[in-house]
Chains A and B, each alone.
Chain A
């Protein structure tokens, strides 16, 4: 007689069902499916969503990157699209810009939320109010937030908010998004303001999990605030810091909406062109969806490298 799992019974750890004798497999499988019908049904929904909206477009993108469509006819062209994309004069500029943005975002967009979280954690009063204040920009639609920066903060005339402040302080003003040197720092500044709320809340949660007696012990040993941060806070939140760094790299490398809105696309010369924007340019302006797909695949491979690192870190946490 075949041994089957009885619904409701607890399987003993370390023990596995005995293999089914031939002939009873179909019955057993059918019963298994029936037993877990609701589980499978719920799973189908999720799998179908992923399949239709994530996996299929990705596979289609990879296929398209080896094809060319002209006059409605699609042909296989091997690595031609990749060779053409790499030969695009904007290709390396876009990667350089993307890495530069990612680096600046790590320096500014990563460190600032951490220190804001530490600061908030130190407050005894109005904590909730301050948290809402910090989180507020996250609730603003990104396009609206960036238009605010574009028209009010980064206006290159002295009417611009930042230039008015700089002028009042007798400091030199800037052309912001119109200056190739300032394009990336200005985009990082806007991006950090928009996104740091979420990171601050995650850091705050991590900080509140640090046992208070560690700080007390450090204080008894005569540690000041910086030494407490260095020897208690950072080691205790190391894993969260590493995870957020990885997530930030993956997110910032997909830089798109900032150049699109703040720089009206490529910016001065190619100073704002990111890899994601170059994909958009090839796909939607240059009638080159296949080239765009090839660049998308290249980006996917690069991001997969970072994501692998991220997965390793999460596995460690588990």
Chain B
């Protein structure tokens, strides 16, 4: 072959290769809904990542067992990161149409998922036939994933926030770990004493970046009796005395008492890293934050306890409740939807199986006995079974959560377009936590204008 012919052959190979690469980039699923042998295949995300060895093994064992019990269903697991729903990644997958057939989302994601046109109405499929415990699932949680009378996701986890505190630091600071603060004034006093221990310990710590600041602002506002949006959900409703009180409490602790540590602009992993290192006395969170502190941030279960969310002058008037569920991608066949629901029923909604396999979890480094997830309605059969199993296999001292469980605070859901609103409210939180001269009125006014704009965009 002459040199020019070599060049031509190389060029043609290049073009052919490029064409093949582009074809390979196509987002169209390669998996047929049903193969020649009649098996139904579904892709499911939120498989634990490699670093979560025990959780990953549990998941894979569950898949193997489920497929054994349902030989006509093939589960293709996809891992999308440790957090499963990092908002930017989630948005990219939705916009790019690359979500799995059955995909994980927060309760706050319904609006975004609907806007993307990716969600399937599963109302007619979600029944006792596909999910045996369906009637026991808390109706309030089903409502969160319902729009216009249509159900778009199956709830698989639910939480409410309280005051998480480090018992060891309480004892070192001369505080009674069995009598945690009940009001924000008491939190302030305790934070001062804990911060006085020095060595970079923050008495109270708070988020102010990556949407987590806005998320916690909402919970703190609920504790004051406030709400983020007006009743009709069309306007911001936090630029008032209650919103100001939330920011004033934080500003007083940060700059009045210097009890919140010098490092701010914290987001989820930052705060929990500090907590795991024993540098945080108190913060607000859900019961499973202790799990993250232990399994991901090298903390110890026995150091942590939980109390109800404090209120301004007495018990909190409300606390934020949230959770997660699984959506179904538009265009699935009825067989695929039923297969997906069966899988969720097996792995997420059956006492003694999957996430409720407490016998399996007990010897592992994951807590059994936390007052979570609150998936089943009070008094329902599934709730009773789950509670019995949880008590019988508890591997954490349930007394650490007794005060939290014994003093329930009314749970309020997250606002519509929550993630967009949280992103805006981050600025108000970071404002008071990083600027001693922050003007609270101005911060709230700016946030109010921006939230109103977000709402007008969404409507």
Contact = CB atoms under 8 A, between A and B. Distances in A.
Contacts of B458: 287
A71 B115 contact: yes
A266 to B, nearest CB: 6
Interface stretch (A82-90, A131-139, A203-211): A82-90
Contacts of B211: 285
B164 to A, nearest CB: 21
Contacts of B15: 41, 44-45
Interface stretch (B31-39, B172-180, B222-230, B422-430): B422-430
A85 to B, nearest CB: 10
A283 to B, nearest CB: 7
Contacts of B431: 268-269
Contact of B88 (A37, A157, A285): A285
B265 interface: yes
B68 interface: no
Given A38-B11, A157-B263, A71 B114 contact: yes
B87 A285 contact: yes
B92 interface: yes
A286 B117 contact: no
Given A38-B4, A89-B450, A73 B18 contact: no
B423 A285 contact: yes
Interface in B7-61: 7-8, 10-12, 14-15, 18, 22
A314 interface: no
Contacts of B209: 263-266
A287 to B, nearest CB: 5
A178 B434 CA distance: 6
B262 A269 contact: no
A84 B265 contact: no
Scoring B11, B12, B95, B200 by chain A CB atoms within 10 A of each residue's CB, the highest score goes to: B11
Interface residues of B, number: 53
A45 B262 CA distance: 53
A8 B348 CA distance: 72
Nearest to A41: B11
Given A87-B453, A175-B434, A266-B430, A283 B91 contact: yes
Interface in B254-305: 262-267, 270
Nearest to A285: B423
Given A71-B117, A84-B457, A269-B430, A286 B443 contact: no
Contacts of A40: 11
A180 interface: yes
B249 interface: no
Nearest to A288: B457
B8 A37 contact: yes
B116 interface: yes
Interface string A85-117: 001111000000000000000000000000000
B423 A286 contact: yes
Given A38-B11, A44-B15, A264 B265 contact: yes
A284 B262 contact: no
Contacts of A264: 209-210, 265-267, 270
Contact of A179 (B10, B200, B434): B434
A288 to B, nearest CB: 6
B427 A270 contact: yes
Contacts of A88: 450, 453
Interface in A271-294: 280-281, 283-289, 291
A287 B115 contact: yes
Contacts of A285: 87-88, 91, 211, 419-420, 423
A156 interface: yes
B449 interface: yes
Interface string A45-63: 1001100100000000000
A284 B117 contact: no
Nearest to B454: A286
Interface string A278-318: 00110111111101000000000000000000000000000
Contacts of A44: 15, 18
Contact of A266 (B266, B426, B453): B426
Given A41-B8, A267-B430, A268-B430, A48 B22 contact: yes
Nearest to B211: A285
Contacts of A84: 453, 456-457
Contacts of B262: 156-157, 175
B457 A178 contact: no
Contact of B419 (A283, A287, A291): A287
A187 interface: no
B423 A281 contact: yes
A155 interface: yes
Nearest to A37: B8
Contacts of B112: 287
Contacts of A16: none
Contacts of B111: 287
Given A38-B8, A263-B209, 12 more contacts: A38-B7, A48-B18, A69-B116, A88-B453, A89-B449, A155-B263, A178-B265, A264-B270, A265-B426, A268-B265, A285-B87, A288-B420
Interface of B: 4, 7-8, 10-12, 14-15, 18, 22, 87-88, 91-92, 95, 111-112, 114-118, 200, 209-211, 262-267, 270, 330, 417, 419-420, 423, 426-427, 430-431, 434-435, 443, 446, 449-450, 453-454, 456-458
Interface of A: 37-38, 40-42, 44-45, 48-49, 52, 69-73, 84, 87-90, 155-157, 159, 175, 177-180, 263-270, 280-281, 283-289, 291
